[in-house]
Amino acid sequence: MAEKIKCLIIGSGPAGYTAAIYASRAGLQPIMYQGGQPGGQLTTTTEVDNFPGYPKGVDGPTMMQDLENQAKRFGTDVRFGLATKVDFSSQPKKVWIDDQIELEADAVIIATGASAKWLGLEGETTFNGLGVSACAVCDGFFYRNQVVAVVGAGDTAAEEASYLANLCTEVHMIVRRNEMRASLIMQERVKNNPKIHIHWNSETEEILGDVNGVTGIRIKNRENGATEEIALTGFFVAIGHQPNTSIFKDQLDMDAQEYLITEKGSSRTNIPGVFACGDVQDSIYRQAVTAAGSGCMAALDAERWLAANHLH
């Protein structure tokens, strides 16, 4: 027998927890399944300095626990479990958790987020939060007046390198080929910045460090095989993000990068009663505060949709 739910939230993090806070306060009796990484990407961040309300900063796991506790305070039923299959072709919507638990939900809020793409180096795991990051806007402040590196060749990498150049003494940009994929205007911006040094045809062989964190990297020229060690304290991977949308294929509209498409100025997807918020539908900003704001939007949209359809 499928469990009947008025409002189901798939995924956690700032978007999911904010949606839960608003939905529970509105009496939607939301049930949240946290997904494979409860709390989302911020649980791997040591310090969050740019979220309003934390004047002294806060470490990511603590912040996510605060948001979870706030959602629970208003009655959100927070559960462990990963959504593995959905069927949005009829009302109510059907969702399966861990391939075993079947749910029927009147409204569904998707907050499954996106995962940063990594190079696959051992040091990315060893020094994550200790010099390795996938977000310059989030963590760049901590490397003010230091030397850092950015890996990538697209617009995101160029934007992050430019951003870091405003804070750091030197930025090494590691580009795998002899050209960049970034737009021409972004390419010109990094090429003309005296603080940015581009290493063409290069890839990172190893991230170097000690108990205190990253101390440098070793790169290899893909054309002649020459290696070089660069002393630095910050290593930013900017090779893209992968939205966690695989289970929604053939159900919901997505863009070319597989981010869920929502109606402009709303959280509504192409399926009535299904809403998306946070990084799963945001390929531009990808910040905790913007995710939280879109979580609020999703809960308000869900409440209005349920009321309009006499389900609330």
Catalytic positions, please?
A: 135, 138-139
Packed helices 155-165 and 184-191: angle between N→C axes, nearest 10 degrees: 30
In sequence order, the β-bridge partners of residue 116 are 241
Output the six-digit token pair for 5. Answer: 């739910």
Does a cis peptide bond (omega within 30 degrees of 0) precede residue 61? no
- Strands (DSSP E) found in the chain: 3-10, 31-33, 77-79, 83-87, 93-97, 101-110, 114-116, 132-133, 147-151, 170-174, 196-199, 202-210, 213-221, 227-231, 234-237, 241-243, 274-276
Packed helices 60-73 and 13-25: angle between N→C axes, nearest 10 degrees: 20
Closest to 109 measured CA to CA, from 283, 268, 309: 268
The dihedral region occupied by 218, where left means phi > 0, alpha psi between -120 and 50, and beta the remainder, is beta
Rounded to whole angstroms, the Cα distance separating 7 from 29 reads 7
Rounded to whole angstroms, the Cα distance separating 169 from 156 reads 20
- Residue partners of 221: CB distance under 8 A and separation at least 6: 199, 201, 202, 227, 228
